[in-house]
Structures are given as C-alpha cells and as structure tokens.
Amino acid sequence: MARISQEEKEKIRQKILDVSKTFFYDVGYENTSTKMIAKKVGIAEGTIFNYFPTKTDILFESIYDNYFENVEEYQDLFDLEGNISEVVIDYLYKSMNVMLRIPRAILSEMTIQGFKLARKNPGRFKKFAELDFKYIMDLELYFKKLIERNILQDVDPKQLSELVYSAVMFEVIMYLYDKTIKKDILKQNIKTKIDVLIKGYLKGGKTNEY
C-alpha cells in the first residue's frame, strides 16, 4: 500500500474534525459514532484512531480547541471608575460569549468528558482548565488595583477572585443542566451573586456605584 504524504494526512485529520463537529452539533456527542464519522470522511473506522486516541479527543479538538483559539483579550474592560459588579460581569460574560454559542447539549457533554479527561489525559485537561485560570488571574489583578485605591477592603485578591469565579461557574453549570434558564437569566443570576459578594468587601461608606 502506498504511503500518503504528510499533507494528505493533515487533510484527512482536518476532515475528521470538520465532519465530527457537524455530527456533534446535529445529532449530539452520544449519538455520533466513529463509524459514522469514518463513513462520511471516506476512511476505515480504524483509521480514525491513527489520528485520535478516542472520540473524546475528537470532541475537544474539534470544538474546545477552536473555542480556545478564538477567545479575545478583554483586559481593557477593567474600568477602575465603573460599577465593580458590572465591570466583572461584562468581562466574564464577553469572555464566555464564544463558549455560549456552542449548543448547550455539547457544552454539557464537554463538561462531563472534561472531568473524565482529568484522569486519563492530565495534559489535555490542563489545557481545558487553562482559560479558567486566566480569568481568575485577570480578576485578581483587578481586585488588587481596587484594594490599592482604597475601594475594597484589604482582602486576599486571589481568594476573592476564586470566590467570584466559583459563583459564576455555579450559575453556568445550572444553565447547562436546567433548560428553563435562558442566557438573560444566566446573566442576571450571575449579577445577583456578584453584587452580594462585592458589597461585602467594599470599604465602609462606599457603594458599588462609586
């Protein structure tokens, strides 16, 4: 059998990703089989595993990796003169906009598979969690500046950023598993929690509308 070139291999690999992504969006992760993918690509089912170890790897590379590459930088949203809650919400919500364009069912499946991935493939899971750590670090820097300006109490900015992000992720998880929660409700729920958290750390006499 003649060997295929590296260029042809890359074309096949990309086609597997493109076909898989379409199937995942149209029929869901669980209802998509590697046999279906292989047939659409025009290769033997076993050939898929020459490119990807598992269907989970295809899921993350076809969807999450693309999401990761298209996330923009939003540090300029950290207005030190604006409403703290609104600043935090705008930053997180705009950062999540790309993710929220992914169908809810696929996001739910990615969350489930992500936890499984933590044991099987720590390296890929680390990349899966990398954006979360970036958001937390950005929030930490913002809170540190507010503390320096005597707007927030002398609290550990790292702990506060983790606390805020944990509250946000709780609402995201609820959004993924409760289909009655729409995106506008998600944002309102996030705002309510952040308002409560931030209010507790404002310096005496100051308001969230400083």
Question: Domain map of the chain by residue range?
Answer: 6-52, 64-199
Among the four given CATH numbers 1.10.10.60, 1.25.40.20, 1.10.150.310, 1.10.10.10, the one describing domain 6-52: 1.10.10.60
Looking at residue 110, what is its pLDDT? 80
Q: 126 or 30: whose pLDDT is higher?
A: 30
Dihedral (CA of 188, 78, 81, 204) sign: positive
User: Tokens standing for 105?
Assistant: 């069912």
Share of the chain above pLDDT 70, in %: 85
- pTM beyond 0.95: the answer is no
By the 10 Å C-beta count (0-12 exposed, 13-18 middle, 19+ buried), 100 is classed as middle
Looking at residue 204, what is its pLDDT? 65
Q: 118 or 2: whose pLDDT is higher?
A: 118
